[in-house]
Structures are given as C-alpha cells and as structure tokens.
Copies of this chain bind each other. A is one copy, B any other.
C-alpha cells in the first residue's frame, strides 16, 4: 500500500482527493493535514466522511510526515509548497503540488503574476508539469509534480492538438472560460455566499487571471515559440465544472478534417479525453464527478475561425483526479486506478 499524506485536506480539492483515494485500492491516507482544523475529526469538517474517515486533522509537521508517507499532496494556497520542498524531503517522498508554485518555469513570471517571492526556485527546473496526456513519460520518473490548474488543464487540452499541429494562428487564441463555484475555494467571503453567486454570472480577473501565463507557457511549448493570449474566467452558479470556449483563426487551407485528425492523433488512445462526435458540444453535466475531459470543435467557414470547446470537472481532472493520475504514473500503477468513475448525472 502506498501511504499518502495530504497537506490542505480540508479545502474542496483536498476533500475530493480524500474521496478519490478512498476508492483507490493501492493507497492509504495516513495524514489529514489542515492548519485550520487541527485536532478536529475530519468528519466534523466534511460530514459526508462520517463513518468513512475516523482520523483527526493534523498540523504540518513536515519531518514527521516525510517519514510516515510515500507521497505528499499539497492542496494549499500559493507559496506553501515552495516553502516546504527540500532535497532531503524529496529524497524521502514524492510531492504532488496542487498549487501553482512549480507550474511556471520562469520564476520572474511566477513572482509577477502571483505577487509573492518564490521560496525555492532551485526546484523549479526539476518539477514536472503534471498534465499526464502531454508529459506522461516525464511524470513517471518525477519526484516533484506541478499539478496543473483547473482552467489550465481544460484550456490546454482543448487547444493543444491544433497548436501543436500548427493548424491555427497561435497568436489569435482567445479563451473564454466558465467555472463552477467550488473553484473559488471554501474560504468565507461575501462574494461566494449563496445569494451572491446564485442567479448570477460574472467575468473576473479579466486580463489578469493567474492561470494565463501557465496556459501561455504550455501552449507556447506546443507552438514552438512564445505566445500571448486572452483568457477570461467567469463564475457560474453551479458547484462543479469548467467549460472552455476557445476561438482561433484557422491557418490558410485548414479543413475540418485536418482538425479532427489532429484531435484523434493526440487523444484517440487517451482514456480520460473524449473527443465527441461531430455536432455534439461538451457540457459540464456529462463529466461531473469523473476524470474525463470532453472536447469538440466547430469550424466557422464564414469567419475562418475554429471554436474549440472543452469540459471537465474542476475538482477531478482539474485538481484531485489529475493528482491521482500523476501518482499512478509515478508509482507505476495502472494510470486509471481509482479513476474509473462514471460521471454522475444528474
């Protein structure tokens, strides 16, 4: 059995990790970290876990934790994981970081968009960007995984094949994303109260959202050159789900068949990416609770643009599910172990 510890187990992503790992036959959670609920029963924080998890929440005693587990998941605010990582720790355990600390290779970009100083930039080069469908081989040998963001995973997977194959003008990409509210976290803020979110939709972080440089970096690798794009997130009155609607100018002569071929090339053997049949738009309801990303596109012959669409569950493929997928790869397990989840509807 792989022994796992979770730092930040009482946020929404941390709790989803608990749910998923409880359905994983090769993993045992031995450490429920939570600074906010130290010594409190985990099920007092999330009552769905009553009679399932009997543990109490613990503080982050990293040394003790590193001795006790094989893998640490950090589902914590920005900066925390960077402050924990050390050569000594990485020699003992694998770290899968669900925060942004190691996602961006250029530390100045990180520090500018996140507004904090990076505590351990020396580990950035080693960290592997844990988007399994793209970096599978690198993940297998990694000690430190930068688990991608929720918007990011959806955006990159949706656009990647067309960028990689050079079918679209990479400088023309516009990503309009919509997210359920669990992405905003469990912090007590007026803006996230039921009555403020319900019956409302809004854009936020327009031109400044922190997932922007992460998407740009990864799609830049695919394009073979740096690129800039627009990314606009929106908050939707639902619990889970991200929908990405992305626009780009088609390169001269590119046909619908070329685009479908590109998606097939990269995803037809991928278990967790479903390229939908022509004419079917991705919808968040069809992926809820699962590790799938549903993708499709539509060509507009009038404007010579392609509209790319992707949907996933922000807490699964956008966070905890992807973290488990990374763990499976690192430990040589079946990549889908614990993730064979039929989407729950309605």
A interface residues, Cβ below 8 angstroms from B: 12, 15, 18-19, 22-23, 46-52, 174, 176, 178, 180-182, 186, 188-190, 192-204, 206-207, 228-230, 232, 234, 236-241, 243, 245, 247, 274, 276, 280-290, 294, 298-300, 302-303, 305, 307, 309, 340, 342-346
| B178 contacts A186, C-beta separation under 8 Å | no
Partner of A230, one of B180, B289, B303: B303
| B243 contacts A290, C-beta separation under 8 Å | no
| B234 contacts A243, C-beta separation under 8 Å | yes
| B48 contacts A281, C-beta separation under 8 Å | no
- Given A174-B247, A182-B346, A346-B195, residue A276 in contact with residue B201 (CB < 8 A): no
In the assembly, what is the distance between CA of A220 and CA of B228, in Å? 29
In the assembly, what is the distance between CA of A285 and CA of B229, in Å? 29
Oligomer copy total? 4
CB distance from A82 to the nearest CB of B (A): 25
Residues of B within 8 A of A197 (CB): 194
CB distance from A188 to the nearest CB of B (A): 4
| A23 contacts B285, C-beta separation under 8 Å | no
Residues of B within 8 A of A340 (CB): 23
Residues of B within 8 A of A247 (CB): 174, 176, 230, 247
| A240 contacts B283, C-beta separation under 8 Å | no
Residues of B within 8 A of A287 (CB): 48
CB distance from A160 to the nearest CB of B (A): 19
Nearest to A277 among chain B residues (CB) is B50
- Given A230-B303, A238-B198, A298-B207, residue A47 in contact with residue B286 (CB < 8 A): yes
- Given A12-B195, A302-B228, residue A48 in contact with residue B290 (CB < 8 A): yes
Nearest to A183 among chain B residues (CB) is B195
Partner of A195, one of B49, B186, B283, B286: B186
| A237 contacts B239, C-beta separation under 8 Å | no
- Given A245-B203, A346-B240, residue A230 in contact with residue B307 (CB < 8 A): yes
CB distance from A20 to the nearest CB of B (A): 8
In the assembly, what is the distance between CA of A261 and CA of B101, in Å? 41
| B22 contacts A342, C-beta separation under 8 Å | yes
Residues of B within 8 A of A303 (CB): 228-230
In the assembly, what is the distance between CA of A243 and CA of B340, in Å? 30
